[in-house]
A and B are shown apart, each in its own frame.
Chain A
Amino acid sequence: MDKIEISLDLQLSKQFNLALDCVLPGKGITGIFGHSGSGKTSLLRFIAGLQPCAGASLTVAGQIWQQGKQKLAVHQRPLGYVFQEASLFAHLTVQGNLDYARKRAWPGTGIPYPQIVELLGIDGLLRQLPDALSGGERQRVAIARALLINPSLLLMDEPLASLDEKRKQEFLPYLHNLHQELAIPVLYVTHSLAELTRLADYVLMLEQGKLKAQGSIAELSRQLGLADPDAPFCVLDAVVTASHPQWHLVSAQSQSASLWLPDSGLKVGEPLRLHILARDISLSLGNHNDSSILNRLPARVESVNTVQDAVMVELSSNAGALLAKISLRSAEHLHLQVGQSLFAQIKSMALSR
């Protein structure tokens, strides 16, 4: 699918104005990220046609959805929408809810019905009424229903917000599997960095109704990492290139750098997303071959900022952008300066997917 072009200027209240002009990729999951009240949901509702906005324009894959006053009604837009609360029809069973979408599905070949039911694990619930389901089950049915309409664009508004932490962990694999199966683009609204870095390929950051930044996860790695003041992190996308069973390690390629990773049953060719906490990166001026640390990358200092009791160092490396959190004393000791070359030692990293 071709790109999504959005241009809108929406006065939602006296104090709040949502103004955007952007182009989003027509594939993969685009995370729309921002704090509560940044305009994420309004943006999604505008795209669906649920939030009127005079004078805006919206083109999805070359098809004009709105151009000034001319616009397609909601039911004429080939989209699926998953609301924050599951919003199943209370008068229909799970099966009835799914059939509501199947009867009205857009023509074309989507994911077949049995596969959707299996993917979301809802085949045991079909005869129940929504009232009898748990929050997580309802949301899974709602997602299945949105997929069964066979949309060309899937809009998801914080689909995990109504679930507790345990349910979220159970649910994320379903969403991730979906990501693998789906050929259509997904716009995923969230205020959770964990969901964003796990699921999104591309990110749109909103702040108080304005576009703060947009780009791939890797491009926005540092900005996103800094958005989590408790545990700043950075993200690298990599692909497994070789397996080394004698060391229980695999090597993975991230941009032009090769990294060592513990072998947790990874297959060669598998795409990975690595989540590295800023405090797990240490800096050294020399290339210490005598250290036990496996991953050591030449890097360049891009910025140095003192944050309360520590120093945040933004780095660029041939693996991608990195973020290190070091002590005030170390920063002074290393005489850190922008443009300086040094080595970043990665003590540990987690797979976020």
Chain B
Amino acid sequence: MPLSNDDLAAIWLTLKLASTVTVILLLIGTPIAWWLSQTTSWFKRPVAALVALPLVLPPTVIGFYLLVAMGPQGPIGQFTQWFGLGLLPFTFWGLVVGSVFYSLPFVVQPLYNAMTAIGLRPLEVAATLRASPWDRFITVVLPLSRPGFITAAVLGFAHTVGEFGVVLMIGGNIPAETRLVSVQIYDHVEALQYSQAHSLSALMLVFSFIVLLLVQGVSRQNTQRKGHG
């Protein structure tokens, strides 16, 4: 069964969302992961727990609170209105905000692991070679945690593609605006269009499998490199 125009729109929207979210997540996740890997503050544990929350919470809970927060009375809603951006629920950017929260641990965790694995020594060496803290971050931390960045980007992207609950809560089901692949499949099933649901589902299955294969390849390369050290 070939994909319908609605299906293609949903795929396009999903890819657009996942790419946008991945870029934002890397920008936000890098400083968070770096701070977590360096700090000895008591504040570290609460922040780490907060970042990890989406791992255990039902997506509907996150979706619900984000919906409230982005609503006209919520703090995010007030903020966006004050900036003249309007309200975010049931828009593409609303989905972006929700996805960023939802996929944050999948980006922060691999980055944090990679940065912790560098250890103190390369940074000390760089400091004795006259590198300022910023210089050290750019020339030592970033290149040495490259495998972590690849894993983080792939996982962040894939996890955003696969979300459903949060999307349904704050995005609704507006064609070409907030209707993602996962929602489209749900719609097909509701309408008993099993063969269409099957095409899209199979596509997702293959995609997810390839992604996990990639991630394993990266982490294997990584352990091999460490094995030599």
Contact = CB atoms under 8 A, between A and B. Distances in A.
Given A89-B122, A89-B140, A100-B139, A146 B128 contact: yes
A75 B131 contact: yes
Interface residues of B, number: 21
A104 B129 contact: yes
A300 interface: no
Contacts of B132: 75
Interface in A143-183: 145-146, 149
B129 A145 contact: yes
B147 to A, nearest CB: 11
Contacts of A75: 126-133, 135
A129 B137 CA distance: 21
A91 B125 contact: no
A74 interface: yes
A199 B140 CA distance: 33
Interface string B79-104: 00000000000000000000000000
B127 A100 contact: no
A21 interface: no
A87 interface: yes
Interface stretch (A77-85, A117-125, A329-337): A77-85
Contact of B144 (A80, A90, A104): A90
A50 B121 CA distance: 10
A79 B140 CA distance: 19
Given A50-B124, A80-B128, A149-B130, A131 B229 contact: yes
Given A83-B121, A87-B121, A91-B143, A48 B128 contact: yes
What's the dominant secondary structure at chain B's contact region?
helix
A86 to B, nearest CB: 10
B131 A81 contact: no
A79 B229 contact: no
A6 interface: no
A106 interface: yes
Size category of the binding interface on chain A:
20 to 34
A100 B139 CA distance: 9
A101 interface: yes
A89 to B, nearest CB: 6
B130 A89 contact: no
Given A90-B225, A91-B143, A104 B131 contact: yes
Interface string B191-209: 0000000000000000000
Contacts of B229: 90, 131
Given A90-B229, A131-B228, A131-B229, A104 B130 contact: yes
A269 to B, nearest CB: 37
Interface string B98-126: 00000000000000000000000110111
A302 to B, nearest CB: 43
Interface string A94-116: 00000011001110000000000
Given A90-B229, A131-B228, A81 B139 contact: no
Contact of A81 (B125, B133, B144, B225): B125
Interface of A: 48-50, 73-75, 79-81, 83, 85, 87, 89-91, 100-101, 104-106, 131, 145-146, 149
13 contacts: A74-B128, A75-B128, A75-B129, A75-B131, A85-B121, A87-B122, A87-B125, A100-B139, A131-B228, A145-B129, A146-B128, A149-B128, A149-B129
Given A75-B133, A146-B128, 17 more contacts: A48-B128, A49-B127, A75-B128, A75-B131, A75-B132, A75-B135, A79-B128, A81-B124, A81-B128, A83-B121, A89-B125, A89-B126, A90-B229, A100-B129, A105-B130, A131-B228, A131-B229
Closest 6 CB pairs of A and B: A74-B127, A81-B128, A104-B130, A131-B228, A91-B143, A75-B127
